[in-house]
C-alpha cells in the first residue's frame, strides 16, 4: 500500500505562473517531509523540506506547506521557469531508527513557454 | 562541491550473472543508502550503512548484499541476476550531524539484465 501518494502523474503550467504539486501521506507519525527534483539520467536533487512541527517553509521561489490534520503537503513554485521542468518526488522520513526515505511516485512538471 | 560518485554508470549483465555497484559518498558523510528505481516507479529503499555497520534494511532481496568499507565507500553485490533486477540503482549519502535528514543522491547506475 502506497504510504506517500502523488496523485497527479503530470502537470503542465505556463511560464511565469504558479506551479502547485501535491502529496498525501497515510501515517501521522511521519517526522520530516522532503521534496526532490529529478532530471532524466540524473539522481534526485534535494529542493526543500519541512519538519512536522511546522506548517510552512520557504526558500526563494519554493514554498512547502504542511497540513497535518489532512496529512497533505504541497510544493508551490512561483514564478515557474522553463528550468523547473522535471519530475518532482515527495519523500518522507519516519525517524525512529528507520533511515530510508519513502518516496511518492512523482509528478512530471512541464513548464510551457 | 564534491558529490556522490557511482560506478559504473551503465552495466549490462545476463541472467544468473553477478554484478557489483560502487558508491563513493560525499567527503565527511558517514551514512550511505542504496535505492532501486524500476521503470516508471519511485525509488525504493534497499539498505543503509552508518559508520560501516548496517543501519537499516528495506526491500533488499536475499540475493543482494552490501557493505561499507573503512574509507566509507560502499558496494552493492547482486547475484543470480533476474530480468526484474533491471533498474536504476541510486546511492545517497548524508551526515548524522546534519539535522535536516537530507540525503544527497548520486547520478545512479543503470543496470540492464538480458
Q: What are the Cα distances from residue A57, in Å, to A34, A51, B36? A: 11, 9, 29
A67, pLDDT greater than 70: yes
**Which grid coordinates belong to B48?**
543503509
Candidates B4, B43, B108; nearest CB to A103:
B43
Q: Answer yes or no: do B108 and A102 touch at CB < 8 A.
A: no
**Which grid coordinates belong to A54?**
511546522
pLDDT digits (tens, 9 = 90+) for A16-53: 999 999 999 998 888 899 999 999 888 999 999 999 99
Per-residue pLDDT 10s for chain B (114 aa) are 689 999 999 999 999 999 999 999 999 999 999 999 998 889 999 999 999 999 999 999 999 999 999 999 999 999 999 999 999 999 999 988 877 788 999 999 999 999
**Best of A42, A43, A105 to disrupt the B interface by mutation (most B CBs within 10 Å)?**
A43
Question: Percent of chain A, pLDDT > 70?
Answer: 97
**Which grid coordinates belong to A31?**
517526522
Nearest residue on chain A to B89, alpha-carbon basis: A43
Helix (H, G, I), strand (E, B) or coil at B59: coil
Q: Which residues of A touch B34 (CB under 8 A)?
A: none
pLDDT the model gives residue A29: 86
User: CA–CA separation, B56 vs B24, rounded Å?
Assistant: 19
**Which grid coordinates belong to B56?**
537499516
A96, pLDDT greater than 70: no
Whether B42 contacts chain A with CB within 8 A? yes
Amino acid at each position: 500500500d502506497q504510504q506517500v501518494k502523488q496523485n497527479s502523474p503530470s502537470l503542465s503550467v505556463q511560464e511565469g505562473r504558479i506551479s502547485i504539486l501535491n502529496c498525501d501521506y497515510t501515517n501521522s507519525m511521519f517526522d520530516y517531509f522532503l521534496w526532490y527534483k529529478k532530471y532524466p539520467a540524473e539522481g534526485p536533487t534535494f529542493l526543500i523540506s519541512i519538519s512536522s512541527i511546522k506548517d510552512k517553509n520557504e526558500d526563494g521561489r519554493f514554498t512547502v506547506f504542511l497540513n497535518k490534520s489532512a496529512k497533505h503537503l504541497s510544493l508551490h513554485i512561483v514564478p515557474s521557469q522553463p528550468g523547473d521542468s522535471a519530475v518532482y518526488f515527495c519523500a518522507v522520513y519516519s525517524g525512529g531508527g528507520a533511515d530510508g526515505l519513502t518516496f511518492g511516485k512523482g509528478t512530471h512538471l512541464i513548464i510551457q513557454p | 562541491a564534491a558529490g556522490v560518485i557511482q560506478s559504473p554508470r551503465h552495466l549490462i549483465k545476463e541472467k544468473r550473472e553477478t554484478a557489483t555497484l560502487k558508491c563513493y559518498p560525499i567527503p565527511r558523510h558517514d551514512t550511505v543508502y542504496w535505492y532501486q528505481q524500476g521503470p516508471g516507479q519511485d525509488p525504493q529503499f534497499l539498505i543503509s550503512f552508518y559508520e560501516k555497520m548496517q543501519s537499516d534494511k528495506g526491500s533488499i532481496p536475499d540475493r543482494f548484499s552490501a557493505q561499507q568499507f573503512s574509507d566509507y565507500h560502499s558496494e552493492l553485490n547482486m547475484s543470480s541476476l533476474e530480468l526484474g533486477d533491471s533498474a536504476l540503482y541510486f546511492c545517497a549519502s548524508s551526515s548524522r550531524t546534519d539535522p535536516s535528514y537530507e540525503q544527497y543522491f548520486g547520478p545512479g547506475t543503470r543496470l540492464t539484465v538480458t
